[in-house]
Structure 1
Amino acid sequence: MAKRTSLKVRVQQLGTSLSNMVMPNIAAIIAWGFITALFMKGGWFPNPKIAELIQPTLHYLLPILIAYCGGKMVYQERGAVVGAIAVMGVIVGADIPMFLGAMIMGPLGGWCMKKFDQVFQEKVRSGFEMIYNNFSAGIIGIILAVLGTYIVNPLVVGGSNIMAAGVDWIISVHLLPLANIFIEPAKVLFLNNAIGNGILVPIGVQQAASAGKSVLFLLESNPGPGLGILLAYMFFGKGSAKSSAPGAAIIHFFGGIHEIYFPYILMKPALILAAIAGGVSGTFTFQILGGGLKAAASPGSIIAISLMTAKGAYFGTFIGVAMAALVSFLVAALILKSDKSMEDDSLEAAQAANQAAKAESKGQQAVDDGLGDSDITVDNIHQIIFACDAGMGSSAMGASILRDKVKKANLEIPVTNQAIANLQDTTNTLIITQEELADRALQKTPRAVHVTVDNFLATSKYDDIVVQLASNEQSSDIKEPEPMEMSDNSSTAIDLNHIDAVAFAHGTARGSATMGQETLRAIFRQNNIRIPVSTVFYQDLDQFNAKNILVVTTIAQQSEVQQAAPNAQLLVVDSLVTSPEYDRLVSRLHK
């Protein structure tokens, strides 16, 4: 029986479809925004001749680009061309920008062309392919354009007028801030691109065309709520969540990668209240002080927001961002300070606990989200793709991190990033995506190997992937020189009664070692074992060179650890994050 698609996944798919039509054209929307702000009457440098570009760009170029992307999303180039032809019927005669019409006619044109080809393309005789391709696309495009003129155009105009009136009413009665009650939780569920680019941007463009600015551009892109939460972690957090928060705040606020603060909320779900409070207060301030942007700010960084802020709206915009950050900080600080569980909590510990829970339910290693699988080898993996909702932002940064690790391991495997909608189902491919998007990625590429992560920018799984790839390629180099006896490596030969300390060895990247430390600490606590567990750099291993010290390392680093601490007892595992060897250690206690 086929697995039913959940409502959440369906909403994500719809949102992604809308976003994938707008996202590739953000540059064109920004270009239109600059032309409008600089050269329109009342702009920074008024120029009537250049200002003639404003209306054609808004009413023709942008909808055609959106429809083209919508058709291409369904049926490649043929669908794109038909979608662009079809949308002309909706555009002509409309006095509003036909963004919504483009989102309908583009995919519809691609779908009609696809279905027509499925019926007739194989029946075309040799030599007539070009005639069939050109005439079929042109005729279908014309038919859809006519239908769009008489059917879709009136419906979209009526619907847009109703929506615009609704938005204007909400703004007039100052209820727009309440929209953040729904926007902030949806962002954490990775619907941020769908909400921003699929809903708010099209309506915001219509407002900006008439008023010169729109506050709708700021509802999803406002970095204030996320900044306040990360600042609260900096001052009131514990463990690695506290230490990693400053870097995350910089990436979020200046880089515009909002996804980086989502795991911090997921670790303490009550913090969603801080995000909502910050979003509501920020939007309220934007309205009261007249903040607004002239075009979409993508990504949602303070730099992009500064460039897109409308003339005369800088004070209201910046104060709104600051107010959102302040309110979310105060609420988050209150939540973190009152949360007693923070004493033993850390970002890696939360991730390790999540992996351990998965392992227990599956009866296997927690890293078995693709990592415990023998499919990840140099022979089987020819490319690595980071897949996310829009194919930008955090997935690009995650790809950059892993690409650097792959390069340092001397592996010639390309690492790229794409939107899930653009993935191709091919073998010999490793797909890395976030857990919230895993179902969609698996449906799109069932033949690929899949690995899920909590956060593209903070995970130890990258080290595990590289270790598996490198150990497969260099297995003979690891095993042949000076083979170790099982008594030195296996937990079955290690008696914890004679161990006074355990240390996880690591290099400059300490993520896996830290998570392994937390995992073993948890196992020790459950079994009332009072042996300290720590992490240690390879260059400091000489301080742990004693028989009563147990050093934990991976196969790839075994030789290096042996040379640095030849007298210490050694436990070699496949993955530092979690291993069945840890439970075997405990089972031998007092035996």
Structure 2
Amino acid sequence: MATTTQTGTTSSSGGARVAVQKFGTFLSGMIMPNIGAFIAWGLITALFIEKGWLPVDKIGGWGDYADGGLVGPMVRFLLPILIAVQGGRMIYGTRGAVVGGIATMGAIMATTQPMFLGAMIFGPLAAWLMKKVDALWDGKIKPGFEMLVNNFSAGILGAGLAVFGLYVFGPIVDGISNAFGNGVNWLIEHSVLPLASVIIEPAKVLFLNNAINHGVLTPLGIQQSTEQGKSILFLLEANPGPGAGLLLAFCVFGVGMARSTAPAAFIIQFFGGIHEIYFPYVLMKPVLILATIAGGMVGILTLVIFNAGLVGPAAPGSIIAVMLATPGGSFVGVILSVVLSAATSFIIASVILRGSRRSMLAAEEAEGGGLAAATSQMEAMKGKKSSVSGVLNREALDEASASGMTPAQMDAADGMHRTGGGTSVAARPISKIVFACDAGMGSSAMGASVLRNKIKKAGFGDVSVTNVAIANLTDDIDLIVTQETLTPRAKGMAPSAEHVSVSNFMNSPRYDEIVSHLRETNGNPST
């Protein structure tokens, strides 16, 4: 009886975590493709506002240009509409994007505050409604009237939703946003905000950070930044200090593979901004979460004391992105926040590692223990292979290669496989290769870069290698590379393409197979 209850509880909690992860992935899919626009707005704000480094009234929108400039219109109109358009596209392609943008314009005009929360809700909702409306007369339109019906249905629905957004939806969301903002201000005024690390740091390791960061912190941070010129909320989750301190502790006091891989992991985490690289180190010794929680609390407290923050989101959470988004008056507070949080995390993690050295050595020597097991646990929790786990497993792959293992054996060791087995299903020439992941950035961009370089060196300069979000795949692609768990979804969206699945995008032997396959289909470029 007790066992049954335990299993049900675990399944329920696991299902809830997966649901939150999927929700976070959807939110990330709207935000991440538009990060370049957020960074552009942040740079313009940091440089050209009245208190910026190079104040220019016509650009910053102050003085004689208080009603113009770039800063205000970008944050009020451009950024929310970009989010709404992307959200609509994820639901219903181009038609969803257009209707989502039209509808969100109404919500934007309902308030003078940035309507980010409204864009993330109304854009996808409008696209979903457009999809349902189209389904009503699918296959029932008389030949020759398709364009008329399609254009007017989108226009009429978009106009109606825009008016609804102006009078109903916009004011409701504006009230919710103001309530959230007042709650954050209360936490800051009463010095309670550092306690947020108790939730944020464990949530990061459980891959729930996207829902928190993109669903709550970024929209509220943008609103706060437009009012105050900066926001502390942008650094609650993105601060690289706690993870950096943990990895430095492993560099000094770690054992075995954990110690040997920690320096490379530190570089990727601190400078590359990919925080998930340190999650297996925490999972290997869960009590280490106390180190990152303490580091996060110290970092947030430092920001509160110095009244520091960023002008825009730091994405990815790299020290480089953090510095670029830091306004002039916040450099001391932001730098100290990163340094002190890293130092706190390092000290606590060092004490824990030194006190558990024997048990960690035993786990490292035991079969199925140590960092490799923690990496597998992380990927199981994430629901897919990690784009950076190859760095943690590279020693094993290097040893396998040195021992003369075949590519197939190496694939088995690394958990990679080609869908369908063997060679390709078609011998047609390949001109377009696409890497697809959830958001179309990050891991797929890194994989595309690796393969692009290999293909270029092989002489196939006319073959394009790009990366997209899996929701944006079309059936005009020659070859698609995805992580294993996403391959079935990719096949459904592009059934005519060849599909290659890998367990991580960074160092797959399948890339050499793709180059060899190109020689078979496209011919040897040297001849």
Q: How does 1:34-433 map to 2 (within 5 A)?
A: 34-50=43-59, 51=61, 52-53=68-69, 54-339=71-356, 340-344=358-362, 345=364, 350=370, 367=412, 371=416, 375-380=420-425, 387-401=436-450, 417-422=467-472, 429-432=480-483
Q: CA deviation at 1:370?
A: 6.4
Q: CA deviation at 1:276?
A: 1.6
2:33: which partner in 1? 24
Report the CA distance shift for 1:355/1:323 in structure 2 as closer, same or farther (over 3 A): closer
| Whole-angstrom distance in 2 between the partners of 1:204 and 1:354 | 33
1:391–1:417 Cα contact (<8 Å) kept: yes
Aligned residues: percent identity?
51
1:254–1:303 Cα contact (<8 Å) kept: yes
1:265–1:271 Cα contact (<8 Å) kept: yes
Q: CA deviation at 1:380?
A: 3.8
Cα RMSD for the two superposed structures: 3.7
1:71–1:80 Cα contact (<8 Å) kept: yes
| Whole-angstrom distance in 1 between the partners of 2:245 and 2:194 | 18
2:390: which partner in 1? none
Q: CA deviation at 1:212?
A: 0.7
Secondary structure of the corresponding residue to residue 24 of structure 1: helix
1:259–1:394 Cα contact (<8 Å) kept: no
Structure 1 unaligned runs (5+)? 359-364, 475-591
2:33–2:439 Cα contact (<8 Å) kept: no
Secondary structure of the corresponding residue to residue 222 of structure 1: coil
| Whole-angstrom distance in 2 between the partners of 1:325 and 1:41 | 33
One-letter amino acid matched to 2:439:
A
One-letter amino acid matched to 2:253:
F
Q: CA deviation at 1:414?
A: 7.6
| Whole-angstrom distance in 1 between the partners of 2:468 and 2:292 | 28
Q: CA deviation at 1:132?
A: 1.6
Report the CA distance shift for 1:373/1:167 in structure 2 as closer, same or farther (over 3 A): same
Q: CA deviation at 1:70?
A: 1.2
Q: How does 1:552-563 map to 2 (within 5 A)?
A: none
2:398: which partner in 1? none
Q: CA deviation at 1:391?
A: 2.9
Report the CA distance shift for 1:341/1:329 in structure 2 as closer, same or farther (over 3 A): same
1:86–1:144 Cα contact (<8 Å) kept: yes
Cα-to-partner distance string for 1:411-468 (whole Å, 9 max, x where unaligned):
99986544344456999755226xxxx4x76556568978574x655x7xx23x4687
1:391–1:419 Cα contact (<8 Å) kept: yes
One-letter amino acid matched to 1:81:
V
Q: CA deviation at 1:250?
A: 1.6
| Whole-angstrom distance in 1 between the partners of 2:450 and 2:368 | 18
Report the CA distance shift for 1:395/1:220 in structure 2 as closer, same or farther (over 3 A): farther
Report the CA distance shift for 1:367/1:181 in structure 2 as closer, same or farther (over 3 A): farther
1:22–1:198 Cα contact (<8 Å) kept: no
| Whole-angstrom distance in 2 between the partners of 1:401 and 1:350 | 28
1:378–1:469 Cα contact (<8 Å) kept: no
Report the CA distance shift for 1:325/1:420 in structure 2 as closer, same or farther (over 3 A): farther
2:250–2:258 Cα contact (<8 Å) kept: yes
1:385–1:432 Cα contact (<8 Å) kept: no
One-letter amino acid matched to 1:231:
L
Q: How does 1:561-572 map to 2 (within 5 A)?
A: none
Report the CA distance shift for 1:468/1:295 in structure 2 as closer, same or farther (over 3 A): closer
One-letter amino acid matched to 2:261:
S
Q: CA deviation at 1:175?
A: 1.2
1:238–1:343 Cα contact (<8 Å) kept: yes
Report the CA distance shift for 1:195/1:386 in structure 2 as closer, same or farther (over 3 A): farther
Max Rg structure: 1
2:391: which partner in 1? none
1:6: which partner in 2? 15
Cα-to-partner distance string for 1:337-381 (whole Å, 9 max, x where unaligned):
2222322528996465579999xxxxxx99499646772322249
Secondary structure of the corresponding residue to residue 431 of structure 1: strand
One-letter amino acid matched to 1:180:
S
Cα-to-partner distance string for 1:92-124 (whole Å, 9 max, x where unaligned):
131211111111211111111111112224222
| Whole-angstrom distance in 1 between the partners of 2:376 and 2:212 | 33
| Whole-angstrom distance in 2 between the partners of 1:240 and 1:368 | 17
One-letter amino acid matched to 1:14:
F
Report the CA distance shift for 1:472/1:83 in structure 2 as closer, same or farther (over 3 A): closer
2:437–2:482 Cα contact (<8 Å) kept: no
Secondary structure of the corresponding residue to residue 424 of structure 2: coil
Cα-to-partner distance string for 1:215-260 (whole Å, 9 max, x where unaligned):
0011111110111111111111122322222122122212222222
One-letter amino acid matched to 2:263:
P
Q: CA deviation at 1:90?
A: 0.9
Report the CA distance shift for 1:441/1:264 in structure 2 as closer, same or farther (over 3 A): farther
Q: CA deviation at 1:20?
A: 1.7
Report the CA distance shift for 1:153/1:374 in structure 2 as closer, same or farther (over 3 A): closer
Q: CA deviation at 1:471?
A: 10
| Whole-angstrom distance in 1 between the partners of 2:147 and 2:415 | 45
TM-score, normalised on structure 1?
A: 0.68
2:110–2:171 Cα contact (<8 Å) kept: no
2:201–2:292 Cα contact (<8 Å) kept: yes
Secondary structure of the corresponding residue to residue 113 of structure 1: helix
| Whole-angstrom distance in 1 between the partners of 2:48 and 2:99 | 34
Cα-to-partner distance string for 1:312-349 (whole Å, 9 max, x where unaligned):
11000000000111111112212222222322528996
| Whole-angstrom distance in 1 between the partners of 2:372 and 2:274 | 24
TM-score, normalised on structure 2?
A: 0.76
Secondary structure of the corresponding residue to residue 483 of structure 2: strand
1:369–1:451 Cα contact (<8 Å) kept: no
2:110–2:165 Cα contact (<8 Å) kept: no
Higher relative contact order (CA 8 A, sep 6+): 2
Q: CA deviation at 1:87?
A: 0.9
